[in-house]
Every structure is written in C-alpha cells, then in structure tokens.
Amino acid sequence: MNILKRILFCLFLMLCINPMKADAKDVHTTNDGIEIECDYYEKIATVVGYEGEPNIVSIPAEYDGCTVDRIDDKAFAYSSTIQVVNIPNTIKYIGQEAFEYSKKLKEVNFAEDCDIEVLSGYAFNGCESLSKVVYPTKGFVIISDGAFSGCSMLKDCYISDRTEEIGNYAFENTGVTNLKITNSVKLIGSSAFRECQNITSVSIPASVLYIGNNVFMDCVNLVDATIKCNLISSGLFSGCINLKCIDLGDDIEEIESNAFSKTAISKIVIPYSVKKVGYGVFYYCEQLTDVYVLGKNIKVDEIFSSNSNITLHGIVGSGTDGCAKKYGISFVPIDSGELTATVNDAKKVVLSWSGVEGAQKYTIYRSNKESGYYEAIDELSSDKDSYIDKTVERGKTYYYFVETQKKLDETLIATVQSNIVKIKIEEVAIKLSAESIKVNRTAKLYLWASEDVENVQYEIDNPKIVSVKWGKEWNGNKIAVYLFGEKKGSTKITFSNDYNSDKVEVYVTVSQGKIKLSKVNIGKWKKVSKKNASVVEYKIKWASVKNASGYEVIESCYDGALRRWSSTKQTTKKTSWSYMTSRLDTSKVKIKVRAYRYEGNKKVYGGWSKIETTKIKF
C-alpha cells in the first residue's frame, strides 16, 4: 500500500512540474460562415473552409487576437454561393485549389499592399464566371500551374516586374486580352496561354530561359508575335490560324518541331544564330511562300508539308541550298558579303568585303577563337567596304566576321553574317636607331624605327645625369625625345620596344646640368621712418641670387586684436621689401623669401630663406 502511495505521489509531482498542454489550435466559424483555425501560441490563423450563404465574403485580417495570414488548400473550392471575395493584406499564402470550381465567383479583390509571393496551383481553376481580379500592386513572384485555368471570362492578366515564373496551364482557356510579359519572367510553362481566344499580339523577352511546349497553341486570334528568347519550343504557336507576322530575335538557337504549324504566315526570317530546326515546323502553313534562312549550316529537311509555292532564300553552298536542290524547291541566293583579311605594313589588320545589296549598316565582330565569343568592335555605314583594326597585337591570331543589316524585300529587314576569316599577326622585330648627343641643359633627340611602332621603353644608366620626356612628335616611325641635363657628366640611354630583339644605345654627354638657385640670405627688419603718429614703415633686404629671375615673398602679419596671423604671397624683382602699418592693425610681421627662374615657360624655385620676424614699435 505504501508503495502505491509513493507511485501516485511521484505521478502527481510530474504533472505539477510538466503540466499537459491543452490543444493550441481551435476552429471557429464566423457569422459569414468562414471557418478559421486559430493557433493561439503563434497568434496566427488560417482560413480552412466555408459553409456560409452570403455571396460577398470579406476574409478578416484578424480573428480572436490572431492574424489571419493563410487560406488553406480547397478552403472555398466548389462553392455554389460566393460571387465576390475580398482578401486583406495580411494574407501571405493561398493554398492549392483554394477557390477551384467556384463557378459563381465573379470578382476577387486583393488588398493593394498584399504581399503573396506564390499563387498556388489551380487556386482559381475552373472559375468560369470570374471576370474581374484586382491584383496586388506587387503581383506574384510565381503564378503556379493552372492558377487561372478555365477562367474564360477573365480578361486581365497581371504579370508584374517581380514575376519570375508562369506555370503550366496558368492562364489556359481564359479571356485574357492584353498580354505583357515583363523582363523579369524566366520561365513560362507548357500550355500557359493555350486557347486564349482574345490575345492578338505577344512579345516574349530575352529574359525567358525556359519556355514549355504549346504555350500559345490554338490562340486563334493571335496576329503577330515577337520572340527574343533563345528557344522556340515545340508547338509554341501551332494552330494560331491568324498568325501572320513573326519576328525572331538574333539570339534564338533552336526552333523545335511544329512550332509554327497551321499558321497564316507568308514570310519568315530564320536568323543565323539558329543551329537546329525541328520536324514539321511549317507543316500546313498553306500561305507560306518565302523562307529566309540566314545561317549556313542549318538543315531544313522535312520542315514543310508539300507546298510547291515555297521559295527558299539562303547562302550559296549552305544546308538550305542543298535542301532546295534535294527536293526541287525554288532557291534564291542571299548576298552576305565575301570577307577577306590582310596585314598591312604597320602590322594592322585590313578587312575588306564585297558591298552587300540593300545594306543599311555593317558591324565588325572579332574573337581570339573561331568558336569563341565574338565582340562587336565597330559599326560602319552602308557605304563602307573596308576597315582597319588598329587594336591588334603582334604574335596573336584573330577571327573576324561582318554582320550586315539589310533589306530582304520591301517589308523584311534582317541581319546576315559573312564568312569567318582567320588572320595571324607575325611577330617581326622592329629596328630602332639614334645617334649619340651632347646636352647643354636641354636637347631634342630623334629615334627612327624601321616601321611604325607604338610601345617604346628606355632605361638610363645614371638617372642623376639626365632625364627623359617623350615629345609630341610621334609619327609612327619618327619619335621625338627631350633630354634634360641634371648635372655634368656622361651616361647611356638604352631604347627598346615590345617586338625588338635588338636595342639601340645612345650615349649622352651633359656639359651643363640644371641651374640650381641658392637660398636667399635675408637680412634684418629695420625701422625706416615714422610717417605720423599712427603709421610706421619697416624695410628688409637680402643678397641677390645668381641666375634668379625674381623673388617670391610670403608676408605674415599678426593681428593683436583678433590674435591670429594672416599671410599673403607676392613676387618682386627687387632685393628688398617694405612694410607699412598702423598702430591699430598689426603688432608683429614676419617674412620668408625664395628665388625663382624660368626654364622655358616653367618656373623653377630655389629654397626658402629663414623666417625673419620683428615687432612693430612706434
């Protein structure tokens, strides 16, 4: 019995120390029939269901002390009563199928400052009466699969500047009219806008890195499309029976199967960036008459259904040319310009090309590798047919091509690429020559090169004797060098360049170096005279300095009232200085002097004298 009491007592203590927590979550139903689950420990709440009758539902921002921040999966799915729903700015998450098949739902109003990053999959799928959505200003980062699929009455599609992904079937079979895909979008899923009957124009930006299949399939009122991304996916515009105008960007690398099948295009330009064209790309394009293929190595076999009216336009000797011959298709050559490259006497690359008919401008591209990155180095007007690249280096190999923007016909403008040329700049030694020279303070020396040269270096055996400055005369193979004598003596200057195995040595004799000015030997201040009761004059003298052109004086006065010095800098040709002051102005004056002379247009100074100070006495 005692043992049982002890056990019960221990259990009692355990319960006192670790009391059992009640369930932290509780589900409540509002007067509108909204079921809300409250987490009282986290102070947050989730809308988990709806059993109400009202056709206008406003989700509360707060309930029973908890912030409502989520709408759970299927919370309002299959509602037969809701027509309008208002979503507060506290909502951060809308679950999958949250309003799916709420067929009477007409209007969804997000708070302007609502911040929902991910709109979950099929959130409004099948809401066939939904015609108005007031989107949050920020929009969504991700619009998940089927988010608005089947909302046939919905005309507005808001893709914001922060939207990155549009999921599979996201807006399939909606009434979207004005579609703008922003430059923030990186992914567009398969069938994202399939069967959107009201879209008439679309532009896919270069920011899109992945685009799924059949994205715009059967958008029957789509008339024109611009594609700047690097892939045209399978069936992208298949069945767009009124699509007549397609503008393909210069970065597209692949066009997959059936991309433009069953469209109304009559002409299309396939840019030279395209490496691969898939099966049946233009199947059943009954109005197609002209296909311009600007690349040389593209195979275009089996991309058409039988159509005797098609004319292929391409580069002579290209895969397009071979296809035309193989299948008996009419072929018209495209002039892309024949490029040649030579090296001139100055070891610069000279590019020449045959003028391209219909050219509007030329762009020169260069690379260090044939299959590497080609950089645009210059742009020329249409009347040019040659170019000199002056930025090349000896001993290196370069690859070039010329891109021509030209009119293909009265309505089509495209860019064509010339052949790629390879050129190597040989590393040939440049000979330098010069004669030894005598220097009397300064002298000009000329270096002569066997051909034009840009980079010349020098090395002075004894820099204390002579210094060097490059002159303005640098005409390729004639280079002016100014020499400045520092002190009497002889030394050697060795000149060389990047491509010269030999060096030229110049012997320099300096007969007279720089003239150095001595320090000024300054005297003492002397009181000259007393002008009147309140004005006095002081004067100071110094010995003249040999070769000086004049003297620079710094005069400082001490204001006894303000207790500070003020200084002025002046020049004089004299060897003396006068100072006049009144009793009220100055109590002390000090001065220092240095000599200067001119070397050309430049002032050269000697050292400062000692500072001479005097007290003003009346």
Q: What is the pLDDT of residues 180-211, one digit of tens each?
A: 999 999 999 999 999 999 999 999 999 999 99
Is residue 119 over pLDDT 50? yes
Work out the average pLDDT over 166-186: 95
Is residue 216 over pLDDT 60? yes
Instruction: Provide the mean pLDDT of the chain.
Output: 86
Is residue 124 over pLDDT 80? yes
pLDDT at 355: 80
pLDDT at 531: 59
Is residue 125 over pLDDT 90? yes
pLDDT at 476: 59
pLDDT at 278: 87
Structure confidence at residue 561 as a pLDDT band (50, 70, 90): low
Is residue 88 over pLDDT 50? yes
pLDDT at 466: 86
CA 552, distance to chain mean position in Å, is 53
Work out the average pLDDT over 250-271: 92
DSSP 193-240: TTT-TT--EEEE-TT--EE-TTTTTT-TT--EEEE-SSEE-TTTTTT-
Is residue 93 over pLDDT 50? yes
pLDDT at 12: 54
CA atoms within 13 A on the CB side of 224: 3
Residue 229 identity (one-letter amino acid): C
pLDDT at 21: 38
pLDDT at 8: 55
pLDDT at 218: 97
Q: Taking the CB of residue 146, how many other CB atoms lie within 10 A of it?
A: 26
Smallest Cα–Cα separation from 555: which of 473, 611, 601?
Answer: 611
- Residue % of the chain over a pLDDT of 70: 89
Work out the average pLDDT over 11-15: 52
Q: What is the pLDDT of residues 454-513, one digit of tens each?
A: 677 888 999 888 888 877 666 657 788 888 887 888 889 888 876 655 688 888 888 776
pLDDT at 474: 60
pLDDT at 535: 79
In this predicted structure, which of 59-68, 129-138, 594-603 has the lowest mean pLDDT?
594-603
Higher pLDDT, 438 or 58: 58
Work out the average pLDDT over 318-336: 86
Is residue 84 over pLDDT 80? yes
pLDDT at 600: 64
Structure confidence at residue 235 as a pLDDT band (50, 70, 90): very high
pLDDT at 349: 94
Is residue 15 over pLDDT 60? no
Query: 77: which 2 tokens?
Result: 């799915």
pLDDT at 530: 64
Higher pLDDT, 72 or 18: 72
pLDDT at 18: 45
In this predicted structure, which of 140-144, 407-411, 587-591 has the lowest mean pLDDT?
407-411
Smallest Cα–Cα separation from 271: which of 406, 411, 374?
Answer: 406
Is residue 562 over pLDDT 80? no
Instruction: Kindly report the backbone phi and psi dihedral angles of residue 3, in degrees, each rounded to the nearest multiple of 5, phi listed first.
Output: -60, -45
Is residue 397 over pLDDT 50? yes
pLDDT at 20: 40
Cα 113 to Cα 63, 90, 136, 210: the distances in Å are 20, 9, 6, 30
DSSP 128-178: TT--EEE--TT--SEE-TTTTTT-TT--B----TT--EE-TTTTTT----B
pLDDT at 17: 45
Structure confidence at residue 22 as a pLDDT band (50, 70, 90): very low
Structure confidence at residue 557 as a pLDDT band (50, 70, 90): confident
Strands 478-485 and 442-449: antiparallel
Is residue 586 over pLDDT 70? no
Higher pLDDT, 80 or 305: 80
519 neighbors 608 (Cβ within 8 angstroms): yes
Q: Taking the CB of residue 129, how many other CB atoms lie within 10 A of it?
A: 15
Query: What is the Cα–Cα distance from 246 to 223, expressed in whole angstroms?
Result: 9
164 neighbors 141 (Cβ within 8 angstroms): yes
Higher pLDDT, 20 or 339: 339
Is residue 528 over pLDDT 70? yes
Query: What is the Cα–Cα distance from 46 to 27, expressed in whole angstroms?
Result: 9
Q: What is the pLDDT of residues 36-56, one digit of tens each?
A: 999 999 999 999 999 888 899
Structure confidence at residue 306 as a pLDDT band (50, 70, 90): low
Query: 203: which 2 tokens?
Result: 């532009």
pLDDT at 40: 92
Query: What is the Cα–Cα distance from 618 to 616, expressed in whole angstroms?
Result: 7
Is residue 31 over pLDDT 80? yes
